Amino acid sequence: MLKLIFLVFGSLALAGIVWHIGPTSIMNTASQLGPVALGVILFPMLLVYTLEALGWRLTLGSHAQRIGFAQLFAIRMAGESVNVTTPAAYVGGEPLKAYLLKPYGVPLVEGLASVITAKTTMTIAQVLFILLGIGLSFWILGASDHYLTAALISVGLLAFGMLLFVMVQRYGLAMGCLRVLQACRIRLKFLEERKASLEELDSTIRTFYTQHRRTFYVALLTFFFAWILETLEVYAILYYLDVHVDMLTSLSIAALTVFIKGSTFFIPGSLGAQEGGYVLLLLAYGYPDVTGITFALIRRLREILWILVGLVCLLMLKGREPLHPHGVVASKR
């Protein structure tokens, strides 16, 4: 119910922003974009998603050889489409990714472990990217120390939460959650019957952080570079909207848009809040409000297009049969 309320308020906020700026002004600004411009704007995210799939592949270890990169890319897109279309705070599609790996001979426990470690590594890279963007923004805009302190505190809390989450994983995420539930006298038979699998999941995650540190750092660098590439999309959109922008400014804006979107995760699709945040952000950089809302709507359109791609991938993957451990397709009874 709360998610629905946020969605309604977000929709009303977006409608109010568009009405305030003026639909005609927005259409006139957006009309500067032709098919070539749209193609250029969409291309950077293909690179971003490719690198993110590569980063996930690194966390799969020896199981990565069982699945082609194209299939892994499709599974990632399917999971992400579920993440952004269901009210599950951007994590609903993660178990789905592990499930979709099963037909390729990847056991569910190992698949879940790779999903968790990949998501964690990606989030650490995200925090580093945001910190870089904040530093650049205060160098470019010369904002006051009060704003810098507030921003650093916000990201610091995010970083602390991320560090705590990594530590919990190293000491046992799944069994830790089960013990907390038991301490609260909440008994879930489904989890208790799978205690051995939960212990195996914890062991697999712990092994990744303790025995595969080089892989962790390579994956971290891969995800960080993927975040950096979002700069190209920001630059392309503003360039084709015929406003002056340089790469450092684009990088700063890209990082802060990631911060805005992450901060509004509790609203389904960050609808309204994301667009409002983008408008305020570009106003701070000296761009007119019509540029800000057009920028936001173009990014929303891109997001919708990739969601559709993800849903198509999901439909294509649903028909695959699970494999036995030796790679033989299980027969139906």
Per-residue pLDDT reduced to its tens digit, 246-292: 999 999 999 999 988 877 766 666 677 788 889 888 998 889 888 88
Share of the chain above pLDDT 70, in %: 69
Q: Report the candidate in 146, 135, 90 with the shortest Cα–Cα distance to residue 255.
A: 135
Domain span including residue 194: 33-317
**Within a domain: residue 149?**
yes
Q: Please give the Cα distance from 50 to 269 (Å, whole number).
A: 22
**Within a domain: residue 247?**
yes
Residue 327 has pLDDT above 60, yes or no: no
Give the alpha-carbon dihedral of 95, 100, 106, 111, to 10 degrees.
-20
Provide the mean pLDDT of the chain. 80
Q: Please give the Cα distance from 25 to 31 (Å, whole number).
A: 10
How many Cα neighbours within 13 Å face the side chain of 69?
Answer: 8
**Within a domain: residue 7?**
no
Residue with tokens 């992450």: 262
Per-residue pLDDT reduced to its tens digit, 184-206: 666 666 555 566 777 778 888 88
**Within a domain: residue 88?**
yes
**Within a domain: residue 331?**
no
Q: Please give the Cα distance from 58 to 68 (Å, whole number).
A: 13
| Model pLDDT, residue 250 | 95
Residue 328 has pLDDT above 60, yes or no: no
What is the Rg, in whole angstroms, of the alpha carbon atoms belonging to the chain? 21
Which pTM was predicted?
0.82
* Exposure class string for 234-259: b at 16+ Cβ within 10 A, else e: bbbbbebbebebeeebbbbbbbbbbb
| Model pLDDT, residue 324 | 45
**Within a domain: residue 84?**
yes
| Model pLDDT, residue 168 | 67
Under a CB-based contact definition with an 8 Å cutoff, are residues 111 and 91 in contact? Answer: no
Q: Please give the Cα distance from 128 to 16 (Å, whole number).
A: 34
Helix locations, the chain, DSSP H: 2-21, 23-30, 35-59, 69-85, 93-101, 108-141, 145-183, 189-192, 195-211, 213-240, 247-263, 273-284, 289-317
Average pLDDT, stretch 205-225?
A: 91
Q: Please give the Cα distance from 13 to 8 (Å, whole number).
A: 9
User: Total domain count for the chain?
Assistant: 1
**Within a domain: residue 241?**
yes
Per-residue pLDDT reduced to its tens digit, 234-244: 999 999 988 88
| Model pLDDT, residue 251 | 95
Residue 35 — pLDDT band, cuts 50, 70, 90?
confident
Q: Please give the Cα distance from 69 to 319 (Å, whole number).
A: 19
Per-residue pLDDT reduced to its tens digit, 41-95: 989 999 999 999 999 999 998 888 889 999 999 999 999 988 887 765 556 788 8
| Model pLDDT, residue 322 | 47
Residue with tokens 């212990």: 199
**Within a domain: residue 21?**
no
Residue 225 — pLDDT band, cuts 50, 70, 90?
very high
Average pLDDT, stretch 1-17?
A: 62
Per-residue pLDDT reduced to its tens digit, 110-153: 998 999 999 989 988 998 899 888 888 888 877 655 566 666 67
| Model pLDDT, residue 269 | 66
Exposure of 228 by Cβ count < 10 A (0-12 exposed, 13-18 middle, 19+ buried)? Answer: middle
Residue 14 — pLDDT band, cuts 50, 70, 90?
low
Under a CB-based contact definition with an 8 Å cutoff, are residues 59 and 118 in contact? Answer: yes
Residue with tokens 């990201």: 155
SS3 (DSSP) at 323: strand
- The residue among 176 and 307 whose pLDDT is bigger is 307
